[in-house]
Amino acid sequence: MTPILEVSGMTVNYGVIAAVRSVSFEVRSGEVVVLLGANGAGKSSILKAVSGLIASSGTVNFEGADIGMVPAHERVGRGVAHVPEGRRIFCNLSVKENLLLGGWVHASKGGVEKDLDRVLTFFPRLKERFNQAGGTLSGGEQQMLAFGRALMSRPKLLLLDEPSMGLSPKLVDYVFSMLSDFHKSGMTLLIVEQNAAMALTLASRAYVLEAGEIKLSGSAAELHDNPLVRRAYLGE
C-alpha cells in the first residue's frame, strides 16, 4: 500500500533544544500507527509538525505532495485533522458551534449539514447536549466533541494526541472502541498514547521514540512481544 503520510528527516527545534532529531516514518492508507515513548520523547512535537502547528525541517509528504510549507489551517482542508492533547474544545461555545467550526473548511462547498448529521448519529450524546456550552460537558463528552469536531473536516488522516488522557478506565475503553470504529470506517490514524497496552491492540504498526529519535519500529504484535517494550511501556 502507498503511504498516505511520509515523513523523512524531520527535525524540530525549540530554541537550542532539539525535540525531534531526523525522524523518518510512514503511515500507509487505512493503517493505525502508534508512536510510543516516555514524556519528552518528542511524540507530540511530531504530531504538531505534521499538522503544521510548529515548524520543522525535513519533508512531510501527504498524499504525495510536500506539505511542509502549507499553513496549518490549509492542511485541514487537505484532510489532516489533529485532535490535540487536552482536547482544546471551545469551552464557551455551544456543541453546535464547536462542530460547525470543525466543518469550516467545507462550509463554502456545502454538505456541512450532512456531516453534522453523520457526527450526531455517531455521537448521540452530542445531540442531547447540542445547544449546551462545550465547557459544561463531562470529560468523556468533551472527548466525543473533540473527535466530532475533527470528523467534521472529513479527515483522511486523523492525528490523535493522548486521546485517553484524564479519562476513567471505562471511558478509556469507550474511546478505544470509537477509534477502532474510525479505523473500520476506513480512516487512517496516527496516535500518540501513554496507554501502550491499549494502543498496541488497536495498532497495525508502532514506532518507539526515545529522546527525539526512533529506537524501534515494527508491527504492533512484534513490539508487543519485544522485551524492551514490555519492560519500558507495558509495566513488566
Chain residues in the site for another protein (CB under 8 A): 51-53, 72-74, 76-77, 81-82, 84, 88-93, 96-97, 100-102, 104-105, 107, 116, 130-131, 149-150, 152-153
Grid coordinates belonging to 8: 523523512
Nearer to another protein, 101 or 178 (CB): 101
User: What is d(CA 148, CA 171) in angstroms, rounded to the nearest whole number?
Assistant: 16
Helices 139-151 + 169-184 axis angle, to 10? 10
Nearer Cβ to another protein (36/116): 116
How far CA 216 is from CA of 30, 94, 102, 148, in Å, comes to 22, 43, 35, 32
Smallest separation, CB 189 to another protein (Å): 16
Instruction: Kindly tell me which of 192 and 232 has the beta carbon lying closer to another protein.
Output: 192
User: DSSP labels for 170-206?
Assistant: HHHHHHHHHHHHHHHTT-EEEEE-S-HHHHHHH-SEE
Rounded least distance, CB 120 to another protein, Å: 9
Give the shortest CB-46-to-another protein separation in angstroms.
15
Task: Closer to another protein by CB, 94 or 217: give it.
Answer: 94
- Cβ distance 7 to 178 under 8 Å? no
Smallest distance, another protein to C-beta of residue 71, A: 8
